[in-house]
Amino acid sequence: MSQAPVNISLRRVFWITLRRDLLLAYRRRNDLISPLMFFLMVATLFPLGVSPEPVFLSQVAAGVVWVAALLATLLSMDSLFRSDFDDGSLEQMLLSPQPLALLVLAKVIAHWTVSGLPLTILAPLLGVMLYLPGEGMSALIFSLLLGTPTLSLIGAIGAALTVGLRKGGVLITLLVLPLYIPVLIFGTGAVQAASTGLPIGGYLAILGAILALGTVLTPLAVAAGLRISVSN
């Protein structure tokens, strides 16, 4: 380990952290299937539990896909900091001179790439299975593309606050779900508007604005949460 402080740029730190997390995720490829399968299974429960009538399903498809994506994202959030916490690298990150918010942002982006992004790609298949009207399909993809990163960012706050706890899983859900509601409302709103032929620009703009705000502010909240959790 070098003793003298290395002059390392913020951009390089960001990329190193991003690359590290992506590499770690690649080494555990098998774990990435679980949220996707959960996504598929939750969506399957609705036709089985309520009704497989195309008339009914096409009305609820937007909401069901969005709720399933939301729950699948929540499920995957626990793994964001867990392994780093367990082996001590999280404390190393807190001790390092690099701004924690930057490291957090890199980690969340890496996490979204292997959880939220595959969800977005799988969503059209679920749309087809739930008879989502064709006009709503592109709105589904775009709304999820803008929404899932926000879900990952907000979920990271919950993950940070509960990382030290034993029964973190359900608690994250309780903390984070109220914060998810605006994203859910605008996301499904966009898809339903598109299904009835209305323009979706406004919805997507608001989702984009929430994402932009989240990208700037949530890493700070996550960093604060991590400091609290680690000091427990």
Partner 1 sequence: MAISWKMPKWFFQLGSPRWFYDISSKLLPIFAVAAALLLLVGVVWGLAFAPQDYQQGNSFRIIYIHVPAAILAQSCYMLMAVAGAINLIWKMKVADMVAKSCAPLGASIAVLALATGAIWGKPTWGTWWVWDARLTAMLILLFLYVGVYSLHHAIENEVNAGKAGAVLSLVGLVNIPIIKYSVEWWNTLHQSSTFKVTERPAMPAEMWIPLLIMVVGFYCFFAVSLMLRTRAEILEREKRSGWVRDLVEAD
Using DSSP, state whether 231 is helix, strand or coil: coil
Contact between residue 141 and residue 124 where contact means Cβ atoms under 8 Å apart: yes
Four-CA torsion 57, 59, 65, 66, nearest 10 degrees: -160
Contact between residue 146 and residue 207 where contact means Cβ atoms under 8 Å apart: yes
Give the range of 2-10, 32-40, 138-146, 219-227 binding partner 1 by CB under 8 A: 32-40
Give the range of 38-46, 78-86, 97-105, 206-214 binding partner 1 by CB under 8 A: 38-46
Instruction: Decide whether 57 or 157 has the Cβ nearer to partner 1.
Output: 57
Closest of 89, 77, 99, 56 to residue 154, by C-alpha: 77
Query: Residue 197: which region, alpha, beta or left (left: phi > 0; alpha: psi -120 to 50)?
Result: left
Pair of tokens at residue 229: 């959790």
Contact between 121 and partner 1 by CB under 8 A: the answer reads no
Contact between 52 and partner 1 by CB under 8 A: the answer reads yes
Instruction: Decide whether 123 or 223 has the Cβ nearer to partner 1.
Output: 123
Closest of 195, 187, 197 to residue 144, by C-alpha: 187
Interface residue with partner 1 among 10, 41, 181, 205 (CB under 8 A) is 41
Contact between 44 and partner 1 by CB under 8 A: the answer reads yes
Give the range of 42-50, 64-72, 78-86, 202-210 binding partner 1 by CB under 8 A: 42-50
Contact between 51 and partner 1 by CB under 8 A: the answer reads yes
Rounded least distance, CB 37 to partner 1, Å: 5
Contact between residue 24 and residue 108 where contact means Cβ atoms under 8 Å apart: no
Please count the residues of this chain forming the interface with partner 1, following the rule CB under 8 A: 17
DSSP annotation of 96 reads S
Interface residue with partner 1 among 128, 170, 185, 228 (CB under 8 A) is 128
CA dist., res. 124 & res. 78, Å (int): 26
CA dist., res. 56 & res. 102, Å (int): 45
Instruction: Decide whether 118 or 149 has the Cβ nearer to partner 1.
Output: 118
Give the range of 47-55, 60-68, 86-94, 106-114 binding partner 1 by CB under 8 A: 47-55
* Contact positions vs partner 1 (CB under 8 A): 30-31, 33-34, 37, 40-41, 44, 47-48, 51-54, 128-129, 131
